[in-house]
Amino acid sequence: MRTVVLRRGLVALFAAAVSFGAITQAQAETLRIGYQKYGTLVLLKAKGTLEKRLAAHGVDVQWTEFPGGPQLLEGLNVGSIDFGVTGETPPVFAQAAGADLLYVAYEPPAPNSEAILVPKGSPITSVKDLKGKKVALNKGSNVHYLLVRALEDAGLQYTDITPVFLPPADARAAFERGSVDAWVIWDPYQAAAEQQLQARTLRDGNGIVDNHQFYLATKPYAQQHPQVINALVEEVRAVGEWSQANPQEVTDQVAPLLGLPADITLTSVKRQGYGAHFISPEVVSAQQKIADTFYTLKLIPKPLSIKDVIWTPAAKVATAP
């Protein structure tokens, strides 16, 4: 009899331990978000509304900053983050490299928030003048496509220039010391170079690129946590709409986080696109064109199908946390 009681006691103890472990696991669940030094995710992080919304459902939020989209998507690929935002080109390179990702949502076009810059005293006056020149850029970033399209629009080939692949901080240093002839970059680095270095805009994205910002998630996370993803997009949309209506408040809030002067931050804030939407067929088509362009240039090793990596409305749930 004592043996039976002891066994029952051990079973009860084991069950309690399993139950406690399950609760601890739920309480310790973490949504890991990658962000860059620009965009709506910076604003969402500053406001703290996502943390409040998800905390009630036992989900913590962890933020990690990356210097550019390619680095962020590498983090997504190796599993160090679950969700992030990049420009339109990095997901193409990541998909070509086999990253298990899904496009979740996008921001409206912001063609002014990326540009080809030249030093203030440069003799270069048009994109055609870049022939034979060294151009700094972050390989696989949104500005990679801007450069390709700008050269094409000017009647040049990508092979007519010498790309110098550098992350933003190193590219700025090379630009300042004259090691490169031009720099293709995005905000807020773009605005900082314009105002601090008096860099001149040779060509921005107007008329040649959309410069969409994309929100992406790892495929396993999006499939296992559709409610969290839906809540994320709702919060991004809400903070974006608020930001569009209150650029000065956004600047006051974000400038200290970015470590940039208010005037530079305000310029970046005003050039940004706001209002996250789930992926439309038109956006899929535009993104497919980018993928096809990079395959034709042999910058990616295989053709891609963008529609195969879209988080579709059917995958969403009606009620988010």
The domains found in the chain, sorted by start residue, are: 9-109+212-315 (3.40.190.10), 111-204 (3.40.190.10)
Residue 295 Cα to chain centre, angstroms = 21
pLDDT at 54 over 60: yes
Rounded Cα gap, residues 208 and 111, in angstroms: 8
Residues 6 or more apart whose CB falls under 8 angstroms from that of 104 comprise: 83, 214, 215, 216, 217, 222, 229, 232, 233, 278, 279, 311
283 within 8 A of 105, measured Cβ to Cβ? no
The residue ranges of DSSP E strands in 111-188, in sequence order, are 114-118, 134-137, 162-165, 182-186
Give me the pLDDT at residue 280, please: 94
Q: How crowded is the C-beta side of 14, counted as CA atoms within 13 Å? A: 6
Q: Which residue has the higher pLDDT, 314 or 94?
A: 94
Give me the pLDDT at residue 138, please: 92
Rounded Cα gap, residues 133 and 278, in angstroms: 40
pLDDT at 18 over 90: no
Mean local confidence (pLDDT), 167-184: 97
Q: What torsion, rounded to 10 degrees, do the Cα atoms 279, 282, 284, 287 define? A: -120
pLDDT at 69 over 50: yes
Mean local confidence (pLDDT), 161-184: 97
For the entire predicted model, the pTM comes to: 0.82
Secondary structure of the chain: what % helix, strand, coil (to 5)? Answer: 50, 15, 30
pLDDT at 259 over 50: yes
Rounded Cα gap, residues 126 and 194, in angstroms: 17
Give me the pLDDT at residue 203, please: 98
pLDDT at 292 over 60: yes
Write out pLDDT tens, residues 191-233. 999 999 999 999 999 999 999 999 999 999 999 999 999 999 9
When pLDDT is cut at 50, 70 and 90, the band that residue 179 belongs to is very high
Give me the pLDDT at residue 11, please: 37
pLDDT at 318 over 50: no
Q: How far is CA 47 from CA 35, 36, 51, 62, in A?
A: 14, 16, 9, 14
Residue with tokens 């240093």: 173
Give me the pLDDT at residue 247, please: 93
Residue with tokens 């790892």: 218
Rounded Cα gap, residues 267 and 191, in angstroms: 7
Give me the pLDDT at residue 37, please: 79
Residue 114 Cα to chain centre, angstroms = 14
Q: Which two tokens stand for residue 177?
A: 């010391």
Give me the pLDDT at residue 2, please: 40
Give me the pLDDT at residue 321, please: 64
Q: In a 10 Å sphere around its CB, with 0-12 CB exposed, 13-18 middle and 19+ buried, how is residue 158 labelled?
A: middle
Rounded Cα gap, residues 92 and 65, in angstroms: 21
Q: What end-to-end distance do the CA atoms of the chain give, in Å?
A: 49
Give me the pLDDT at residue 120, please: 95
When pLDDT is cut at 50, 70 and 90, the band that residue 38 belongs to is confident
Q: In degrees, to the nearest 5, what angle opens at C-alpha 64 toward C-alphas 235 and 278?
A: 35
Strand-pair partners of 184: 116
Average pLDDT along the chain: 88
When pLDDT is cut at 50, 70 and 90, the band that residue 24 belongs to is very low
Rounded Cα gap, residues 254 and 270, in angstroms: 13
Percent of the chain surpassing pLDDT 90: 77
Give me the pLDDT at residue 43, please: 86
Rounded Cα gap, residues 108 and 242, in angstroms: 15
Q: In degrees, to the nearest 5, what angle opens at C-alpha 168 toward C-alphas 71 and 297?
A: 65
Residue 112 Cα to chain centre, angstroms = 17
pLDDT at 1 over 60: no
Mean local confidence (pLDDT), 46-74: 92
Give me the pLDDT at residue 320, please: 54
